[in-house]
Structure 1
Amino acid sequence: MSLFHETADVSVRPAVPGDDVAMTAIQVGSWRAAHGEVLGDAVLDALDTVRMREQWAAAIDAPPGPGFAVLVACAGPDVVGFAAVGPGQLVALEVEPRHQRGGHGSRLLSAAVDRLRRDGAEEIVSWVLDGDTAREEFLGGAGLGPDGRTRTLATGPRDVVEHRWYAAL
């Protein structure tokens, strides 16, 4: 019997150039797993992954202004999740489906909140796609709750509804 226990080599760090490739793959994989039924195959198949990657690269290289940041979660050397924040808002938080339920999302959310606080935010807002109960449970467990606001996004073949979640910081 070993007296030593293996510990996972996990971390969260600011995104660096090159992380955009993994981030795009994670975003597409996460959306397929979590939103396939709501968005539909036609929307997911039409995603412009080259443009998505270019947008993530730009967000990493030249954030659009103060209060914007991109963070990545790593398991060893591999990027397995990411979060993006803007002033007072959690813009995105995705974890590769096979790495979910491993604490990466919680570490990313904690780092995102720390960044928002450091930038002077007094609240955190996030939008949740209708029917995404896993994200609702995750955000609810972290202290966020729906505030009753909704928005409708036109995705092409169908419109989808998002609900705003909020917490004071």
Structure 2
Amino acid sequence: MTTADVRPATLDDVPEIARIQLVTWRTAYGDALGPSVVDALTTDEVAARWSEAITHPDTTVYVATEGRFTVGFCVAGAAPETEVAAADGSLPEDAARTGLIGSLLVEPRWGRRGHGGRLLATATAGLREHGAERGIAWVMQSDSASLAFYRSVGWDPDGTVRTLDTGERTIKEIRLTGTLDLRLEDPATVESA
């Protein structure tokens, strides 16, 4: 039986994280973002951003593995005020105790094997250890699989929507929020994002 695990990422993981992001974005988000936007991303550019994220003192990047393969990743940290603010710019009382799941991706060929659930459970446990009490994540309104994934663990839209301009298209993102105290009976049964 192959072992599935989640662990903090190291700089040695950067090439695989960059590869997974590029493959996943091309497969799942190319139409939404615009083909030229995704095609313009280079491996070196994406890898440089992940190197910065891994070494940044306020974030933790996790990787999901199955056997010897890296199959997904997640980045989590304290939510910046701009991410947790209401549409009118006001901050909730718990702004300083809110964590952000900045990205959670599982390579499509490794989906539906519990990797997304394990990544989120590990990331939320890490956020709790750093004093966060609630989490948020932004998901494209058109990404029904990711929306269903977050809803399956009890995270729901909080009514805040933002529009991003990719240069080729505009996309709407919905902010989801939920508890960091995930009680997954068996993380392997939670569908991967």
Q: TM-score, normalised by structure 1?
A: 0.90
Match 2:14 to one of 20, 36, 56: 20
Match 1:38 to one of 15, 20, 32: 32
CA RMSD of aligned residues (A): 1.1
**Structure 1: distance between partners of 2:174 and 2:50:** 24
Other-structure match for 1:148: 159
Shift of 1:36: 2.1
Matched letter for residue 76 of structure 2? V
For structure 1, list consecutive stretches of 5 or more residues without a partner in the other structure.
1-6
Other-structure match for 1:136: 147
Q: Work out the number of aligned pairs and report it.
A: 160
**Structure 2: distance between partners of 1:139 and 1:33:** 20
Contact 2:135/2:178 (8 A) holds in 1: yes
Other-structure match for 1:120: 131
Percent identity among equivalent residues?
41
Shift of 1:40: 2.0
Matched letter for residue 22 of structure 1? E
Match 1:71 to one of 62, 66, 69: 62
Contact 2:3/2:66 (8 A) holds in 1: yes
Contact 1:18/1:57 (8 A) holds in 2: no
Contact 1:20/1:57 (8 A) holds in 2: yes
The yes-or-no answer on 1:9 pairing with 2:3 is: yes
Shift of 1:107: 0.5
For structure 2, list consecutive stretches of 5 or more residues without a partner in the other structure.
79-98, 181-193
Shift of 1:17: 1.3
Contact 2:32/2:169 (8 A) holds in 1: no
- In the TM superposition, 1:44-123 aligns within 5 A as 44-60=38-54, 62-63=55-56, 65-66=57-58, 68-87=59-78, 88-123=99-134
Q: Deviations over 1:128-158 (max 9, x none)?
A: 0121000001000011001110111111112
**Structure 1: distance between partners of 2:179 and 2:114:** 23
Other-structure match for 1:4: none
**Structure 2: distance between partners of 1:47 and 1:115:** 30
Contact 2:34/2:166 (8 A) holds in 1: no
Instruction: Please give the secondary structure, in 2, of the residue aligned with 1:18.
Output: helix
Shift of 1:8: 2.2
Other-structure match for 1:3: none
Q: Deviations over 1:44-68 (max 9, x none)?
A: 11123311101101221x21x33x1
Instruction: Please give the secondary structure, in 2, of the residue aligned with 1:121.
Output: coil
Moved over 2 A (4+): none
Instruction: Please give the secondary structure, in 1, of the residue aligned with 2:11.
Output: coil
Contact 1:85/1:91 (8 A) holds in 2: yes
Contact 2:71/2:106 (8 A) holds in 1: yes
